[in-house]
Amino acid sequence: MSRIATFAILEILTLFVNAFKFLFKMPVKIRLQRHGSKKRPFYFIVVADARSPRDGKFIQKLGTYNPLTVPATVQLDRQKALDWLHKGAQPTDTVRRILSYKGVLYLKHLLRGVKLGLFDEAAAMEKFQAWHSEHELQLKKRQEANPRGGNRRGAPRRPGAPVRRPSGEGQ
The DSSP-derived string for 51-88 is TS-TTS--SEEEEEEETTBSSPEEEE-HHHHHHHHHHT
73-85 pLDDT, tens digit each: 999 999 999 999 9
Query: Taking 80 as the threshold, does the pLDDT of residue 1 lie above it?
Result: no
For the sheet containing 73-76, what is the strand order? 73-76, 60-66, 42-49, 28-35, 90-91
Note the pTM of the prediction, 2 decimals: 0.69
Range in 19-23, 56-60, 91-95, 155-159 the model is least confident about = 155-159
95-109 pLDDT, tens digit each: 999 999 999 999 999
